[in-house]
């Protein structure tokens, strides 16, 4: 089958130039906030797992109140459950992007975030934004490497 210069065969996508790409697989975790809009908690493609941004929201959909540390722990619990759905963990994380509505929250977030990684830390971007979904003050996106 051909679509836009690409062919699909046995779960593998081949470009018109012969490059091989794996078909995306979506993951959802019951232990992360509900997906109430058009997105998946994570998608695995081409050897990487790309997570949707997680805010400090419980699986019941409640935004965590309190300090930056408590919010960061909830975000990391959400990501941990999403990674687990793909049989991955924080040791597989290669890149994160952190969004803040107040960049002064970076230092306390970083101290809590560091507790979740052993040894080498993933690459990371930090961005200050005007607002985040659900009125959150922090959002974290993760990219993890998957084993072939």
Question: How far apart are alpha carbons 27 and 107 in whole angstroms?
Answer: 31
Whether domain 23-145 has CATH 3.20.20.70: the reply is no
Other Cβ atoms within 10 Å of 44 Cβ, number? 20
Q: Is a pLDDT exceeding 80 seen at residue 95?
A: yes
Residue in 83, 99, 102 with CA at minimum distance from that of residue 91: 83
Residue range 123-142, pLDDT digits in tens: 999 999 999 999 999 999 99
Q: What is the pTM of this model?
A: 0.83
Distances (CA, A) of 132 to 6, 48, 100, 108: 36, 25, 8, 18
Distances (CA, A) of 68 to 23, 102, 109, 110: 37, 11, 6, 10
Q: Is a pLDDT exceeding 60 seen at residue 2?
A: no
Residue-range domain boundaries for the chain: 23-145
Q: Which of 7-16, 25-34, 61-70, 96-105 has the lowest mean pLDDT?
A: 7-16
Q: If pLDDT is split at 50, 70 and 90, which confidence band does 147 have?
A: confident
């Amino acid at each position: 089958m051909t679509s836009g210069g690409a062919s699909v065969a046995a779960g593998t996508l081949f470009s018109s130039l012969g490059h091989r790409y794996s078909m995306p697989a979506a993951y959802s975790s019951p232990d992360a906030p509900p997906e109430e809009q058009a997105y998946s908690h994570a998608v695995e493609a081409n050897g990487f797992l790309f997570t949707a941004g997680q805010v400090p929201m419980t699986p019941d959909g409640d935004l965590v109140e309190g300090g930056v540390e408590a919010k960061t722990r909830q975000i990391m619990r959400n990501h941990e459950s999403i990674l687990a759905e793909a049989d991955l963990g924080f040791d597989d994380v290669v890149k994160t992007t952190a969004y803040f509505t107040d960049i002064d929250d970076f230092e306390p977030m970083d101290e809590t975030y560091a507790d979740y990684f052993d040894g080498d830390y993933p690459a990371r971007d930090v961005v200050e934004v005007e607002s985040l979904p659900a009125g959150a003050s922090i959002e974290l996106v993760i990219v993890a490497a998957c084993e072939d």
